[in-house]
Amino acid sequence: MIPPAWVMRRPHWPLIALIVMLAAQVPFYTTVGLSGPPHSPLLTVPMAAAACALQLRHSLYGARGERPAGWPWTLTALVLLANVPLPWLEQDWEALGILVIASAALLRGWAAWTLAAVQLAISEAVGLIGVIETQHGSATFTVVIGIYNVLIPVLYAGAIVGGTRLVQLVNELYATRTELAANAVGQERARLSRDLHDLLGQSLSAISLKGDLALRLLAKDPEAARAEVESLTEVARDALHDTRAITRDEHAVSLRTEIDGAATLLGAAGVQTRLDVADLPSLSLPVQSALAWAVREGTTNLLRHSQAQSCVISLSRRDGTVRLEIVNDGVRTVAGHGSGLSGVAERARAVAGSSTATVRDGRFRLRIEVPEEAL
């Protein structure tokens, strides 16, 4: 069951209510004289309120996983408020010792636990003295009261400590949810940026290439120029459709389609392309997607950053690993990895694979290796 939103945002209020109600019962007992003569509330109410404030300070800091500044002094003050009035307020003031036990348990450490044990012994002693003074309790009744005076303070103090820990956990949960939401937004932005870069990079390169070709053909072969313009329009329409699909995270790429499209686009650009993918293996969708995006980005990278005359796209399988290589010439300088190649590497890592891009002797080699059984 999901807690109400106000509990998630303000989990400390139920804890505050619990502590205030536990502290408020003490001056009520002394005023009505539950176990002894009644006393004026003019003194007991301020003392109980001060003890309640100290407990709230300890608990609210504990809910943040911290100790309050000057906690030895505030704990000492709470001990004095709970025990100094006992000689004249007797059993009616005994319940305030619960706050001492709870604070000691929250502050932890051997000294704090020793204090909690001492306070529990004081509560036991006060309760037994009250029974003996009445002089009408049987031995069984005395034993029952003795057990009662141990269990009740422990249970009430446990409720305060448990409530404090619960507030701390709720705060951590709320912070974690906020962080996860922020991470999800960041990851979605990165996905959109990466996919749009990879998609529009090739599409815009194709549009630019076909537009230049149409201009060159316009004077000498209008029909061929018209065909290129129609093809350009189709590429733009497909890019628009794919862009809309990417924003909904519904865009799927096919490895075979990307390889054939890369060969067609490179051929139109005058790049002699050789495909070594005759034995295209049957791969899972995540692997196909990672390799298909790599083909698209490799093609875009070739058109934008080289004067390639030839390109080889090969796909092979060995020892449970699928390797894709795109090799082209015409590279004269070593360029740093841009966002496109970074996106290829991210997709490869997402399916437990790897990606490398190297330049040697004027040839650029993009290699992606992924396990066949990647999910």
Are 163 and 262 in a shared domain?
no
197 within domain boundaries: no
Could you count the other beta carbons within 10 Å of the beta carbon of residue 285? 12
- Asked if 294 and 347 count as a contact pair (C-beta separation under 8 A), the reply is yes
Q: Which of 129, 158, 179 is the last residue of a domain?
A: 179
Residue 234 lies in a domain: no
What pLDDT does 250 receive? Answer: 53
Residue ranges of the chain whose pLDDT lies below 50: 1-2, 334, 375
pLDDT at 2: 47
238: in domain? no
Q: What's the token pair of residue 304?
A: 């934008």
Residue 302 within a domain = yes
Q: Can you give the pTM of this predicted structure?
A: 0.56
Q: Could you count the other beta carbons within 10 Å of the beta carbon of residue 173?
A: 13
User: What pLDDT does 327 receive?
Assistant: 92
Q: Are residues 160 and 287 in the same domain?
A: no
Q: Are 120 and 79 in contact (CB under 8 A)?
A: no
- From 132, 159, 179, the end of a domain falls on 179
170 and 260 in a common domain: no
Nearest C-alpha neighbor of 40 from the set 48, 50, 49, 30: 30
- CATH code assigned at 287: 3.30.565.10
User: What confidence score (pLDDT) does residue 77 get?
Assistant: 93
Domain count, the chain: 2
Domain span at residue 282? Answer: 253-375
pLDDT of residue 147: 80
**228 domain residue, yes or no:** no
Residues 174 and 32 in one domain: yes
Helix (H, G, I), strand (E, B) or coil at 313: strand
DSSP output for 205-237: HHHHHHHHHHHHHHTT-HHHHHHHHHHHHHHHH
> Quick check: is 206 in a domain?
no
User: Are the CB atoms for 286 and 351 separated by under 8 Å?
Assistant: yes
Last residue of a domain, one of 179, 210, 232: 179
| Residue 226 included in any domain | no
Q: Where are the alpha helices (DSSP H) in the chain?
A: 5-9, 12-32, 41-63, 71-83, 86-89, 91-94, 97-107, 110-134, 139-218, 222-247, 255-268, 285-305, 339-350
Whether 173 and 301 share a structural domain:
no
pLDDT value for 9: 62
**The tokens of 154 are what?**
């422990």
134, part of any domain: yes
